């Protein structure tokens, strides 16, 4: 039986081209995108050759070295960022539907992403006209100031789980600081990046300030990381790829920011309401089908409430409405593509072979409406051991493991037993315990009695193999700047260091 879906309002059967030096250009090849809700072709997009990547880099280099953008006042750059934000808001419905069609997430999630995207541009527009720099009290007749200046050309590589929002996280602070950019969206989810290019063209962003090149890692990402004309590379994705990019960046010792994911713990103590904890646990792992770098993929639960927690979480997980993202009743959509679906199913098989107890899920939902889409049911493993691969490795799907602990010290030890350190949470009514445990978590983003609430104003990044540096907040802006000291002698006289 044919799959029946809510008909999309947005038009995808159109040209999706590269944007280089202020012009839309055909690529050297084409890629067919697949709608993850159906497993059927969605549209075709252009993909760049290495030569076109070099052209984009040269355009950004020219725009930085000779163009108006780095020489504008902060207020002028802020004006452009605000116009971009306004245009995103004006096209929010279309952009959200594009995200859902291309990436699979429920429309209600996509709408939040688009609103956050506009806010990110506005935040940095507002940040850059605030006081900055330092004046240092040094011995007369010198006057010394410390200023921040743009780095130069920034190569930016973004993932497929939050396509437009991740573009904003990288572009907005980079542009605010006065840099020029070459953005590589994921080859799987490039549609909203192209629409963003069209918006930037509409607001008449100067040519070459942003260039958007579509394609895979070896063809587009690697040349960006290796190019000596690129001054900074920012990447969000896997540890494996991050290490490759970091090594390639050594060509000219370019600045590097890496956000590389996690295996984040949610620690639940017995004094906290179990039903509320379960509610947060569902949100922590099944939001965006678990395709979130900060997902709460490890539940660490006190022994006395462990059985109750697992039972209640399984009962509610079974009731999550899985389906196409455009369907109004859908609470969890498909995974982004067939490769990711197979990866998740392989990990589920690995968990069972390792001896973990499969409580619920572990399969694909059945029914005509799922067609050939890339769905996996919400999955829970219990009775796991710390050395199991499903406990240590990032699955990036709707799969959670539940561990038990007896003491506070054991809870902290289990939480920190990971190569990652992106996020973590503590659930307890004991404020002293909350402060103690959350400070002991080796993670960059933490919560007490909450999960996933994050803010553009706050730094995003992690410890250990979760990456280098921070995005967002003032930290995200500083990451796109160089620090310079300026010393001015107000009374030049001969130094007299040498007698002759």
Residues 336 and 18: their CA atoms lie apart, in Å, by: 22
SS (H, E, C) 263-321: CEEEEECCCCCHHHHHHHHHHHHHHHHHCCCCCEEEEEEEHHHHHHHHHHHHHHHCCCC
Kindly report the backbone phi and psi dihedral angles of residue 85, in degrees, each rounded to the nearest multiple of 5, phi listed first: -60, -45
Q: Is the dihedral of CA 221, 226, 228, 234 positive or negative?
A: positive
Whether 121 and 88 have beta carbons less than 8 Å apart is answered as yes
Is residue 293 part of the annotated active site? The answer reads: yes
The H-or-E segment that residue 476 falls in is helix 473-478
Which DSSP string corresponds to 351-376? HHHHT-EEEE--S---SGGGTT----
Residues 481 and 68: their CA atoms lie apart, in Å, by: 18
**What residue ranges in 316-468 does DSSP mark as E strands?**
357-360, 379-382, 399-405, 420-421, 423-427, 445-448, 463-464, 467-468
SS3 486: strand
Going by DSSP bridges, is the β-strand pair 399-405/379-382 parallel, antiparallel, or unpaired? parallel
* Bridge partners for 265 per DSSP: 298
Q: At what angle do helices 163-177 and 74-90 cross, to 10 degrees?
A: 160
Indicate which residue of 99, 259, 302, 327 is catalytic: 259
Is residue 409 part of the annotated active site? The answer reads: no
Tell me which residue has tokens 């402060």: 435
Contacts of 351 (CB under 8 A, 6+ apart): 358, 381, 384, 388, 389, 390, 399, 401
Residues 332 and 284: their CA atoms lie apart, in Å, by: 13
Residue 257: Cβ-neighbour burial (10 angstroms; 0-12, 13-18, 19+): buried
Indicate which residue of 120, 181, 287, 293 is catalytic: 293
Return the active site residues.
259, 293
């Amino acid at each position: 039986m044919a799959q029946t879906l809510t008909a999309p309002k947005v038009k995808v059967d159109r040209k999706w081209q590269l944007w280089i030096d202020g012009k839309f250009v055909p690529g050297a090849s084409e890629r067919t995108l697949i709608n993850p809700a159906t497993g059927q072709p969605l549209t075709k997009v252009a993909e760049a050759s290495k030569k076109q990547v070099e052209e984009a880099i040269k355009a950004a280099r020219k725009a930085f070295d000779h163009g108006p953008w780095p020489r504008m006042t902060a207020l002028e750059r802020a004006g452009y960022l605000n116009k971009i934000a306004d245009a995103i808001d004006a096209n929010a419905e279309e952009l959200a539907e594009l995200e859902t069609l291309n990436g699979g997430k429920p429309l209600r999630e996509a709408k939040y992403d688009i609103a956050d995207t506009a806010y990110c541009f506005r935040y940095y527009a507002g940040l850059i006209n605030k006081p900055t720099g330092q004046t240092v009290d040094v011995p007369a007749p010198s006057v010394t100031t410390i200023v921040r200046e743009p780095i130069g050309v920034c190569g930016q590589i973004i993932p497929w789980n939050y396509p437009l929002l991740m573009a904003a996280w990288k572009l907005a602070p980079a542009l605010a600081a006065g840099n020029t950019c070459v953005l590589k969206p994921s080859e799987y989810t490039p549609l909203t990046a192209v629409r963003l290019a069209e918006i930037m063209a509409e607001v008449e962003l100067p040519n070459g300030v942003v260039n958007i090149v579509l394609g895979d890692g070896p063809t587009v990402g690697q040349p960006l990381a290796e190019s000596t004309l690129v001054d900074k590379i920012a990447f969000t994705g896997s540890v494996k790829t991050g290490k490759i990019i970091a090594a390639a960046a050594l060509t000219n010792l370019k600045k590097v920011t890496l956000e590389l994911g996690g295996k984040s713990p949610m620690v639940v103590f017995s004094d906290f309401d179990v039903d509320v904890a379960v509610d947060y646990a569902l949100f922590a792992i099944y939001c965006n089908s678990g395709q979130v770098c900060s997902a709460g993929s490890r539940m660490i639960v006190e022994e006395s409430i462990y059985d109750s927690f697992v039972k209640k979480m399984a009962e509610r997980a079974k009731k999550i409405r899985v389906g196409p993202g455009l369907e109004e009743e859908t609470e969890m959509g498909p995974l982004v593509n067939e490769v990711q679906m197979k990866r998740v199913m392989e990990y589920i098989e690995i968990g069972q072979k390792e001896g973990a107890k499969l409580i619920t899920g572990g399969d694909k939902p059945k029914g005509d409406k799922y067609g050939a889409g890339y769905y996996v049911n919400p999955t829970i493993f219990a009775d796991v051991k710390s050395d199991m691969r499903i406990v240590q490795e990032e699955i990036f799907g709707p799969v959670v493991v539940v561990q038990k602990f007896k003491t506070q010290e054991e809870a902290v030890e289990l939480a920190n037993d990971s190569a990652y350190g992106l996020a973590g949470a503590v659930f307890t009514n004991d404020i002293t315990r909350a402060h103690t445990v959350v400070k002991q978590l080796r993670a960059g983003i933490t919560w007490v009695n909450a999960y996933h609430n994050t803010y553009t104003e706050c730094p995003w990044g992690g410890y250990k193999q979760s990456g280098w540096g921070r995005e967002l907040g003032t930290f995200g802006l500083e990451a796109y700047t160089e620090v310079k000291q300026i010393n001015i002698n107000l009374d030049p006289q001969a130094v007299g260091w040498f007698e002759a």
